[in-house]
Chain A
Amino acid sequence: MTAQNGNILEAVQVRKEFGGLIAVNDIDFVIPRGSIVSLIGPNGAGKTTFFNTITGVYKPTAGAVFFEDKEIAGLPPHQVTGLGMARTFQNIRLFHNMTALENVLVAMHGHIKGGIVRSIFRTPGLKREEAEAQERGRELLEFSGLRRKDDEYAKNLSYGDQRRLEVARALATEPKLLLLDEPTAGMNPDETATFTAFVAKLREDQNMTVLLIEHDMKVVMGISDRVTVLDYGEKIAEGAPLEVQHDARVIEAYLGTGATG
């Protein structure tokens, strides 16, 4: 179904400790190019920490992360984003007092030349660049299901729209790999279905690679090519959605010991 030319991301023995707590315990993890990979696990399993470790928010205690064969562990987040990796936040972190369009424009930072002197004199080149960026931003908002919301302050958007804006903003960085941290949390079933179709479309149309952290099993099982299960910071299962669903350790992690017996 997808053109699999290698792995876009490889994490090798990644470990993250906070004092004595091992939040991520020597995890090996790969994301094949063009695939949708899900990361699941009970609350506190270390999913978001793992996510933060590969996006540069945290520096891993040990191990290495390669994005397109380039070592990225320890790089500051803006450089990781610049390489082509963009993320959304589990607890929505929009720029609340900026409009939807401005949110998206901020995310184009790395792709707009700008320049202090050019901005002060507003040269023809800069004006053209700004107009293009705005047009691209509007298109992106429309594509993400935020038609005519361009000039709304982010905080005035409905919850579902805020989630959509998170994704639109991440897409504005022109990523090759999109990391979504519980994107459907708090959405109703209709919104969730629309969103799932949107992610599938992203992959179809733009050959986007997606890493998804998700609690909603219907979403995970519906669109993932591979599923990785974490528990207490360790990888306990990995494989196709159906395999993972029937894995004894996974059922145990979710439902407790004895559930399989």
Chain B
Amino acid sequence: MSTRAARIRTPGLGSETTRKWALPAVVIALIVAYPLLIENVSFLDSLFVGRLGIDMDTAFQMATYTMLALGLNIVVGYAGLLDLGYVAFFALGAYTLGWFGSSLFAGQNIHFLDVGNKAIPGIHLSFWVVVPLAGLICAIAGIIIGWPTLRLRGDYLAIVTLGFGEIIPDVFRNGDSIGGHNLTNGVRGVTQLDRPGFGESLNSATGGFLPDRYSSLPDELKPWYYTILIMCLITIFVNLRLRDSKMGRAWIAVREDEIAASAMGVPLMRTKLWAYAIGGVFGGLAGSIYGSFINGIFPTSFSFQISVIVLVMVIVGGMGNVWGVIVGASLISWLNFTGLGKLGSLLNDAIPGTTHDVEITKYKYGLFGFLLIMMMVFRPEGLIPSARRKAEFKEGDEAYLYDVSTE
């Protein structure tokens, strides 16, 4: 009895845990210290900002995409539901900020704990209220969209989600006269969005540590960076906890074999809906802060490319593995925003003369496509695959070797 209890308790303690968490802890510490490192160490500044182009702005975008990729990881990586319309949740999250944190509804003048000017018309809820609200709205949207579509499997599901990914930005595009009401401001989009902040009293109480209202000046982006970082950490935490839960096991079982899963008492619809809705929540959270950061929400910002690129991040990183997805998302979003350009100019500089100069960013999607194909050929399980996925891609030969060695 005592040995049994010990066996159950061991995974929570001891050197195994230390080993498992040592690397992530160091990496997370470096990421947290990043703004201070580049500010104070000129060598790091010239390497990371100068050469690689990871300034605060890019770092924020990378973190946003990491959040999106982790959200999609629940849907695609865990539950195995191929969602090609994930951008819909990103858009909906951003528009939630448009509705509850801008002057879009100029006829109203509602302020609730916000840090902006009280004289500005519109609905202005505190940013810290809008963010969870965006998550909630996306969860509900996920259930509404998922209810009819998740009955489909595989390719059919992919096609329908692709459709929804196209429909939702179109709804926002044409949402400037729904029953005579202007709900989205159409193609002109929503601008002048509320920014996060903690208000004057908290600002002075903490000696200026918590900013009154986040600034959008390029040199003052640190609060944004730390905010998205905390959101990312929450996303990672939820990803890991859910993976090891009853629901996480059910997701993997559904991905492995739907019929067997349902015969073992797993309700298919409910299990898939949870994956879809929770994935949607993170898309919404990311969308709301992103909208505020870029201070403008336009229907054209939420294109099919975003769905695809987030999916590529998940695949390249390693479906189902949180750390892999983070690496994939950081790498690809960096390449997407500044990395490719920087690499291109490095390349151009390396070869003397100017006649051969090519603008490498023009071939971005071609290069991403090439990268994806190379991955599929040489490392289909992703950069850092989960043990499960790794096993999946080694189907056959390894199982055979094992049998031979044990018989």
Contact = CB atoms under 8 A, between A and B. Distances in A.
Note whether A and B form a binding pair. yes
Contacts of B29: none
A119 B245 contact: yes
Interface in A5-57: 55, 57
A151 to B, nearest CB: 11
A120 B237 CA distance: 8
Given A106-B261, A116-B274, A119-B241, A76 B247 contact: no
Nearest to B401: A156
A93 B399 CA distance: 16
A189 B150 CA distance: 45
A96 B399 CA distance: 11
Chief secondary structure at chain A's binding surface: helix
Contacts of B403: 156, 158
Contacts of B395: 155
Nearest to A156: B402
Interface of A: 55, 57, 76-79, 81-82, 86-87, 89, 93-98, 102, 105-107, 109-110, 112, 114, 116, 119-122, 131, 134-135, 138, 153, 155-156, 158, 169-170, 172-173
Nearest to B266: A109
Chief secondary structure at chain B's binding surface: helix
B180 interface: no
17 contacts: A76-B262, A78-B264, A81-B265, A86-B264, A89-B260, A93-B260, A94-B260, A97-B388, A98-B256, A106-B253, A106-B261, A114-B245, A114-B246, A155-B395, A156-B402, A158-B407, A172-B264
A12 B399 CA distance: 45
A98 B262 contact: no
Contacts of A120: 237-238, 241-242
Nearest to B386: A97
Interface string B34-69: 000000000000000000000000000000000000
A169 B253 CA distance: 12
Given A98-B252, A155-B395, A76 B267 contact: yes
B257 interface: yes
A102 B250 CA distance: 10
Given A93-B257, A97-B256, A114 B238 contact: no
Contacts of B256: 95-98
Contacts of B237: 120
A32 B268 CA distance: 31
Interface of B: 4, 8-9, 237-238, 241-242, 245-250, 252-253, 256-257, 259-268, 274, 278, 388-389, 391-392, 395, 399, 402-403, 406-407
B259 A109 contact: no
B78 to A, nearest CB: 12
B246 A78 contact: no
Contacts of A94: 257, 260
A57 B259 contact: yes
A123 to B, nearest CB: 11
A109 B264 contact: yes
B280 to A, nearest CB: 14
